[in-house]
Structure 1
Amino acid sequence: ARADGAGFRFVADFVAEVDKVNPQVAARVLTGFRIFPMLESGRREAARAALLQLQAGGTLSRNAADILTRTLAG
């Protein structure tokens, strides 16, 4: 994970795009974020910010939105 959070933003943007054509794959990719609470504080906050930005977009499929909500809940 990059310290500046660019990788997290890239993956979140990727999920948003893939979700439009294949929600199952997008949901599966989101499961990779489940480790974010275990990251050091700077990276953890960058990952959380990327997830919150994705959530704020409000256009995710039900599957991806469910995984995202569970991931943010810890």
Structure 2
Amino acid sequence: MNKVLPFILDYYDREVSQMISKKYGFPIMDAYKKFMFSKTYEMLSNPELQMWDFSCFGIFDMWEAEQRTGDPRDSIYIRRC
């Protein structure tokens, strides 16, 4: 597979954006943009990393780690895998 299937990305787009919006109070489109332009999303979109096996909670944790430290790999979800 040379790209992540669109329906997989669509699922994470919706779920993670809603989590960001709910927790941080951002309007949904702002939350969507924050996620779409993140390193976390770049990693999710990379088929070589096969991140579609992660739950949306794990992806959200990676996004939060990126916001705190600048690196999604600082996520406790990643470090325990």
Common fold: TM-score over 0.5: no
Provide TM-score, normalisation by structure 1. Answer: 0.34
| Bigger helix fraction | 1
Provide TM-score, normalisation by structure 2. Answer: 0.32
Higher relative contact order (CA 8 A, sep 6+): 1
